[in-house]
Amino acid sequence: MYKPINKSVKKHQVPEWFHDAKLGIFVHWGLYSVPAFAVTGMNLIEVIKQEGFGGQFKKNPYAEWYLNSLRISDSPTYHYHKETFGKDFAYEDFIPIFNDAIKKWNPEEMAEIFKKAGAQYVVLVTKHHDGFLLWPSRYPHPRKERYYASRDIVGELTHAVKECNMKMGFYYSGSLDWSFNPNPIKDVIDLLTSGLTDQEYIDYANNHWYELIDIYEPLILWNDIGYPPDTDVYEIFAYFYNSHPNGVINDRWSQISKRLRKIIKFKPFATIIREVAKRKFMKGISGMTTKMHCDFRTPEYTHFKEIKPYKWESTRGIGNSFGYNKFEKEEDYLTSEELIRMFVDIVSKNGNLLINVGPKADGTIPELQKKCLLDLGKWLEINGEAIFGTRPWDHAESITTEGISIRYTQKEESLYVFILEKPKSKEIIIISLHIHSNAKITLLGNDETLTWTQKGKNLEIILPEHLSDSPVYTLAISPQSEK
Q: Check residue 277 and give its pLDDT.
A: 79
Distance (Å, whole) CA 292 – CA 314: 19
Torsion angle defined by CA atoms of residues 175, 179, 180 and 186, in that order, rounded to the nearest 10 degrees: 70
Q: pLDDT digit string (tens) for 296-339?
A: 999 999 889 999 999 999 999 999 999 999 999 999 999 999 99
* pTM, two decimal places: 0.96
36-50, 221-235, 246-260 — which is least confidently predicted?
36-50
The amino acid present at 41, given as its one-letter code, is: G
Q: Check residue 433 and give its pLDDT.
A: 96
Q: State the average pLDDT over residues 269-280.
A: 81
Question: Within 13 Å, how many C-alpha atoms sit on residue 24's CB side?
Answer: 29
Q: Check residue 96 and give its pLDDT.
A: 98
Q: Check residue 286 and give its pLDDT.
A: 62
| DSSP 3-state percent helix, strand, coil across the chain (nearest 5) | 35, 20, 45
CB-based contacts of 79: which residues, under 8 Å, 6+ apart?
Answer: none
Q: What percent of the chain has pLDDT over 90?
A: 88
Q: What percent of the chain has pLDDT over 70?
A: 98
What's the whole-number average pLDDT of the chain?
Answer: 95
Distance (Å, whole) CA 23 – CA 354: 6
Q: pLDDT digit string (tens) for 38-81?
A: 999 887 778 888 877 778 899 999 999 999 999 999 999 999 99
Q: pLDDT digit string (tens) for 108-162?
A: 999 999 999 999 999 999 999 999 999 999 999 999 999 999 999 999 999 999 9
Instruction: Check residues 367 and 278 and name the one with the higher pLDDT.
Output: 367
Q: Check residue 130 and give its pLDDT.
A: 98
**pLDDT of residue 483 exceeding 60:** no
Q: What are phi and psi of 111, to 5 degrees?
A: -60, -35
| 267: number of Cβ within 10 Å | 7
Distance (Å, whole) CA 17 – CA 456: 39
Strands 414-419 and 167-173, bridge-based pairing: unpaired
**Strand arrangement of the beta sheet that strand 405-411 belongs to:** 397-399, 405-411, 414-419, 473-478, 440-443
CA dist list (Å): 114 to 23, 349, 365, 379, 382: 10, 23, 10, 14, 17
Q: Check residue 274 and give its pLDDT.
A: 84
Q: How confident is the model at residue 481 (pLDDT cuts 50, 70, 90)?
A: low
Q: Of 295, 284, 156, nearest to 219 (Cα)?
A: 295
Q: Check residue 282 and give its pLDDT.
A: 67
Q: Check residue 284 and give its pLDDT.
A: 62
Q: Check residue 12 and give its pLDDT.
A: 98
Q: Please state the three-class secondary structure of 3-45 as a single string.
A: CCCHHHHCCCCCCHHHHHHCEEEEECCCHHHCCCCCCCCCCHH
Residue pair 29/134 in contact by the 8 Å Cβ criterion: yes
Q: Check residue 290 and give its pLDDT.
A: 55
Q: Check residue 287 and give its pLDDT.
A: 56
Residue pair 288/297 in contact by the 8 Å Cβ criterion: yes
Q: Check residue 219 and give its pLDDT.
A: 98
- Enter the DSSP assignment of 366: P
Q: Check residue 44 and give its pLDDT.
A: 77
Q: Check residue 43 and give its pLDDT.
A: 78
Domains in the chain with CATH codes? 6-386 (3.20.20.80), 397-478 (2.60.40.1180)
Q: State the average pLDDT over residues 264-285.
A: 79
